[in-house]
């Protein structure tokens, strides 16, 4: 039971930061299907930094993780410029742009991972091996019955993400910048009339989105997968988008959706282990989050209110 909460949370929180990233972009009026690509490329930059710095700082030094997270955020933001360029500057179809970004991300990271590996170590392997992040347990809270598992074996990044999400909620809902950002997704013409620069706000939103997705990606690489390889593209980004839709483009409900996914995933695995099924049956339980997503969307999609102007490039001359 404890394990369900521990693993569930370490899956849900990186998912949440990706979902919030996608949410920022969509709230500003730029449809973001590129979350999958952003998180992969972010993780690539983070892992590259960790691999390069590893020998310098000393392997096993936990400080590398924080540098990697920072680099992942920067790399994600850098890569998201392509999405911004296509959607905001070149007025391409935003759904297509998202798909383009995802395809490009897989190809770019696969190519440059083997290129970087053959330059560093001489063999063209397609993965960067990473250390696993240390875990810690909060003494008193972890002994609470039932929910103690939440505070057991936590990754440091879980706390970081939780704090970051609260801050991002504040930024989006309680500041002038956040209000303008949301208005850009509902009625960009009004924002323009009020004297703000719609496209600049959208550029910032897309870059925030890229940075947040990058953080989510490197957290997955450091916790669940333990290395950076093409297996980072397991559809976390899409799952996060589904969580965002399920959460009706609001940070609070999106958090809930991510927690449900996380618990469904870890719960399914523990169920499989508890029932002593052969390892082949694991696949059936790995399907659970995706089936759950579809079912939940069936019940909750009808009443959704996506941002009104999402998907449309801003045209000053329209009203």
Partner 1 sequence: MFLSRRLTGKYASLWVSLLAILMTLAAASILLLAMGKNPLIAFRSFLQGCGMIPKENYGGGSGMLTDLLDFLNYLAPLILASLAFIAAFKAGLFNIGIAGQMLLAGFTATVLVGYNKGLSAVVAKPLVLLIGLLVGGMTGALIGWLKYRFNIHEVVSTIMLNYIISYLTGFFINNNYVDMMTRNSKVCSPDSRLTLTNIMIGDLKCKIPLGLIIAILIALLVSFLFRKTVLGFEIKAVGQNRRCSEYTGIRVNRTILLSMGLSGAIAGLAGVAYYLGYTNTIIPKTLPGMGYDSISVALLGSGAPIGSIFAAIVVSVFQQGANYMSSTVGVAKEIASLITGILLLFASCGNYMKYKAARKMQLAEDLRRTEGKEAKAL
Query: Which spans of this chain sit near partner 1 (rule: CB under 8 A)?
Result: 33, 82, 86, 90-93, 95-97, 99-100, 102-104, 106-108, 110-111, 114-115, 124, 235, 238, 241-242, 245, 280-281, 283-284, 286-287, 290-291, 293-294, 297-298, 301-302, 304
Greatest CA separation found in the chain? 64
Q: What is the rounded radius of gyration, in angstroms, for the C-alpha atoms of the chain?
A: 20
Q: How far is the CB of 93 from partner 1 (least distance, A)?
A: 7
- Select 77 or 292, whichever has its Cβ closest to partner 1: 292
Token pair of 14, please? 């990186």
For partner 1, the closer of residues 102 and 209 by Cβ is 102
Q: Give the span between the Cα atoms of 213 and 20, in whole angstroms.
A: 8
Which residues are bridge partners to 136 per DSSP? Answer: 154
CA distance 113 to 50: 13
277 alpha carbon, distance to own chain's centre: 32
Residue 171's alpha-carbon distances to 22, 165, 168, 181, in angstroms, are 15, 10, 5, 10
Nearest-approach distance from CB 94 to partner 1, in angstroms: 10
Enumerate the β-bridge partners of residue 304. none
| CB closer to partner 1 out of 4 and 82 | 82
Identify which of residues 28 and 94 has a Cβ nearer to partner 1 in the complex: 94
Give the nearest distance from C-beta 303 to partner 1 in angstroms.
9
* Token digits of residue 67: 């540098």
CA distance 69 to 234: 20
> 61: Cβ–Cβ under 8 A, 6 or more apart, which residues?
none
Residue linked to tokens 């930094």: 49
Least distance (Å) from partner 1 to the CB of residue 79? 12
Q: Which is nearer to partner 1, 140 or 294 (CB)?
A: 294
Q: Residue 141's closest CA among 126, 158, 154, 160? A: 154
Q: Which is nearer to partner 1, 183 or 260 (CB)?
A: 260
To partner 1, the closest distance from the beta carbon of 215 in angstroms equals 22
Is the distance from CB of 242 to CB of 33 less than 8 angstroms? no
β-pairing, 128-129 vs 227-228, is: antiparallel
Closer CB to partner 1, 9 or 272, in the complex: 272
CB of 20 to partner 1, least distance (A): 17
Q: Which of 225, 156, 165 is nearest to 21 (CA)?
A: 165
Query: Which one, 142 or 254, has the nearer CB to partner 1?
Result: 254
Q: How far is the CB of 83 from partner 1 (least distance, A)?
A: 11
Instruction: Give the shortest CB-241-to-partner 1 separation in angstroms.
Output: 6
């Amino acid at each position: 039971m404890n394990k369900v909460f521990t693993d569930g949370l370490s899956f849900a929180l990186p998912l949440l930061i990706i979902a919030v990233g996608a949410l920022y972009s969509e709230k500003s009026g730029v449809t973001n299907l590129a979350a999958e690509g952003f998180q992969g490329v972010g993780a690539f930059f983070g892992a590259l930094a960790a691999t390069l710095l590893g020998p310098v700082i000393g392997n096993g030094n936990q400080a590398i993780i924080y540098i990697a997270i920072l680099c992942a955020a920067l790399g994600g933001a850098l890569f998201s410029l392509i999405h911004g360029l296509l959607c905001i500057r070149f007025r391409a179809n935003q759904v297509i742009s998202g798909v383009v970004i995802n395809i490009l991300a897989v190809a770019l990271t696969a190519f440059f991972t083997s290129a970087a590996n053959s330059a560093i170590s001489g063999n063209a392997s397609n993965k960067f091996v990473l250390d696993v992040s240390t875990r810690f347990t909060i003494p008193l809270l972890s002994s609470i019955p039932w929910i103690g598992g939440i505070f057991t074996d936590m990754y440091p990044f879980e706390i970081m993400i939780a704090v970051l999400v609260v801050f991002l909620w504040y930024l989006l809902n309680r500041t002038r910048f956040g209000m303008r950002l949301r208005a850009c997704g509902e009625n960009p013409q009004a924002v323009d009339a009020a004297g703000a620069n719609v496209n600049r706000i959208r550029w910032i939103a897309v870059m925030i989105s890229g940075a947040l997705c990058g953080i989510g990606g490197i957290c997955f690489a450091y916790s669940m997968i333990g290395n950076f390889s093409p297996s980072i593209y397991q559809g976390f980004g899409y799952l996060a988008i589904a969580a965002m839709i399920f959460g009706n483009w609001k940070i609070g409900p999106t958090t809930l959706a991510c927690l449900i996914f996380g618990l469904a995933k870890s719960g399914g695995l523990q169920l499989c282990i508890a029932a002593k099924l052969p390892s082949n049956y694991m696949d059936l339980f790995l399907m659970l989050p995706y089936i759950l997503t579809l079912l939940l969307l069936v019940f909750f999609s009808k009443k959704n209110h996506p941002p009104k102007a999402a998907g449309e490039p801003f045209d000053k001359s329209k009203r």
